[in-house]
Amino acid sequence: MTEKDNRYLIVGLGLMGGGYAQGLSSLGMHVAAIDRDPDSIAFGIENGYIEKGSTDADPTLIASSDRIIFALYPEIFIKWMEENAHLIRPGTLLTDVTGVKSPVVSRIQELLPEGAEFIASHPMAGREVYGVRNSSSVIFKNANFIITPTEKNTEEGIEWCRSLAVSLGFRKISVISPAEHDYMIAFVSQLTHCIAVTLMTCNNNTHLADYTADSFRDLTRIANINDEMWSSLFIMNKEFLLDQMDSFIREFGELRDLVENEDYEGLKKKMRLSSKRRKAFDLKEKQ
């Protein structure tokens, strides 16, 4: 039996699940999906993303799957597993796309039946739109992919997850702990979304944007945000996120005081540090 004989199941056929389904199908895999929305299942079948699907947690479909990918919001993922994990066959390999790891991974691994393995991962890709109709595996091309194993994972399981990412077109694949992931994501992704949202909500004079240069556009691109998903992610990663928000507030307050005190040298010093780090970041990106 080769990898192509494995039957894939996508649970949650939305923007991310649809991208996985499309990518795997185009590689010649057998892909099925579960989604509560019959339109999403119908769209997936019509467009060749999946061979078949169900709007329920169909026991036969679940038990006949060798590989399962969960593309659900974190609470819904946990709830789904609480209700249906017993249907998963031993030997099944599972992964997910969830944007927080520590609170999810341990709970999911507890719920899994003996012999099945959940290797948590986070594809660092997305769009400001929703649903399978907007999905495309193109968003994975050259994106980053993070695998967050625990002591319950095997080398084989991690290797399967890595090869899945490679086959879907991800460029840089990192392996870190769930806690390292959550600390990192609080800074590079959640804090930036908090800032973008605040920029849009702190000032009602959005007509000012009539005059905008590129900076306002860039900083608010992600301000068009999936409110259900991100509210969940923020709350589930609360401790790390609050640390990052507080450190941002402290530092922003320092900059504010430099402006108030007309501290020209102090301002220049902050800006030179900022420029230096941003240039280093650009250099790394080009590597």
Q: For the segment 116-155, give every residue that binds a second copy (CB under 8 A).
A: 124-126, 143-144, 146
- Measured from the CB atom, the residue of 65 and 121 that comes closer to a second copy is 121
- Measured from the CB atom, the residue of 167 and 192 that comes closer to a second copy is 192
Q: Which among 174, 156, 177, 154 has a CA at the least distance from the CA of 166?
A: 174
**Using CB under 8 A, which residues numbered 223 to 252 contact a second copy?**
223-228, 230-232, 234-235, 238, 241-242, 244-252
For residues 154 and 128, the answer to whether their CB atoms sit within 8 Å is no
Query: What b/e string do you get for 25-60 counting C-beta neighbours within 10 Å, with b at 16 or more?
Result: beeebbbbbbbeeeebbebbeeeebbbebbeeebee
**Using CB under 8 A, which residues numbered 159 to 188 contact a second copy?**
172, 174, 176, 183-185, 187-188
CB of 271 to a second copy, least distance (A): 4
- Measured from the CB atom, the residue of 36 and 278 that comes closer to a second copy is 278
CB of 79 to a second copy, least distance (A): 15
Structure tokens at 55: 């709007």
How far is C-alpha 232 from the chain's CA centre?
12
Among 59, 256, 283, 286, binds a second copy (CB under 8 A): 256
86 near a second copy (CB under 8 A): no
Measured CA to CA, the distance from residue 225 to residue 10 in angstroms comes to: 24
Structure tokens at 263: 């501290």
Q: Which stretch binds a second copy (CB under 8 A): 39-47, 64-72, 77-85, 197-205?
A: 197-205
- Measured from the CB atom, the residue of 167 and 174 that comes closer to a second copy is 174
Structure tokens at 109: 């691994």
CB of 45 to a second copy, least distance (A): 30
CB of 124 to a second copy, least distance (A): 4
- Measured from the CB atom, the residue of 63 and 199 that comes closer to a second copy is 199
Strand pairing report for 144-147 and 67-70: unpaired
Among 5, 114, 155, 262, binds a second copy (CB under 8 A): 262
- Measured from the CB atom, the residue of 158 and 222 that comes closer to a second copy is 222
Q: How many CB atoms lie within 10 A of CB 235?
A: 13
Q: 168 exposed, middle or buried (CB, 10 Å; 0-12, 13-18, 19+)?
A: buried
Which ranges constitute the DSSP H helices of 66-125?
Answer: 74-84, 102-111
